[in-house]
Amino acid sequence: MEAGLLRDGLTLVVGLCSGILSGAFGVGGAVLSTPGIRLLGIAPLMAVGTTLPAILPSAVSGGLRYRAEGLVDWRAVGAVAPTGLLASIGGALASGLVPGEGHLLQLAIAGLLGWSAWRLGTGRQRPARGAQVDERRTRAAGPRRPRSPVRLAGVGVLAGGLSGLLGIGGGAVLVPGLAQVGGLSLRTSVATSLVCTGIFAVPGTITHSLVGNVDWRVALLLAVTVVPGARLGAAASLRLGERDLARAVAAFLGVIAVVYAAGELAALVRS
């Protein structure tokens, strides 16, 4: 699709929808905006870099909503963010070295999302230590102390690296990682992941911009509507129980994985 008012309008819609999903599931929103702008005609590598600038305002908007509920675990953020930041720079620099003109990167996203959906959907995530059955008690008690900082740092490396490499914010790894490795409740994992993905997006955005992988017209249009979208998504997520939230996250990741895989396999066949 050629640049113009129609594409700009559709880009705004993509930004709103990705913001809602970002706030609801803590995944950064690029899992929708990346394939969304691909459908609008943005080249694969350019799509990877262009979605990153919109992740930060989305993360800030949704993160503030969760912070008001006391659901962000700042100790986990402190363990995950430093290693993730360094890894995101390395991932961004490596993105142009992967063969397949960006299509293989998109297929990697599909595989990652499918794996995360299976882990959450089959109930294999570990419950938070001392978790209360009553969600209201859990929220009132605030985030629990995370497990080993070393393990959390490892989650940060993987999530940050994939954030820079794939342009997806890293939340697809962070949400199940914080729940399964960090021992946090899923709701706290979503809230904490959203903060971390915003942090990871900063060096990734700078690096992709320097190598020319950001279409700033599209990036700014995405950023306009992700902010209200993230607030709406976070508010909707807070209304769900823990089990319903797990099912919703798993279903969301599974659908996006299928869409990613089908679209990029079709592109590879045509090329």
User: Rounded distance, CA 186 to CA 174, Å?
Assistant: 11
Instruction: Report how many domains make up the chain.
Output: 1
Residues of the chain with pLDDT under 70: 1, 27-31, 95-96, 98-106, 116, 119-120, 123-147, 163-164, 166-170, 242, 260, 271
Parent domain of 241? 5-270
pLDDT value for 217: 92
What letter does residue 96 receive in the DSSP assignment?
G
Residues 6+ apart with CB under 8 A from 40: 1, 7, 10, 11, 14, 218
Q: Answer yes or no: are the C-beta atoms of 198 and 56 closer than 8 Å.
A: yes
pLDDT value for 134: 38
Read off the pLDDT of residues 194-220 as tens digits, 9 standing for 90 and up.
888 888 778 778 888 888 889 999 999
Q: Answer yes or no: are the C-beta atoms of 176 and 26 closer than 8 Å.
A: no
User: Rounded distance, CA 244 to CA 247, Å?
Assistant: 5
pLDDT value for 136: 44
Q: 236: helix, coil or strand?
A: helix
Nearest CA to 172 among 55, 40, 94? 55
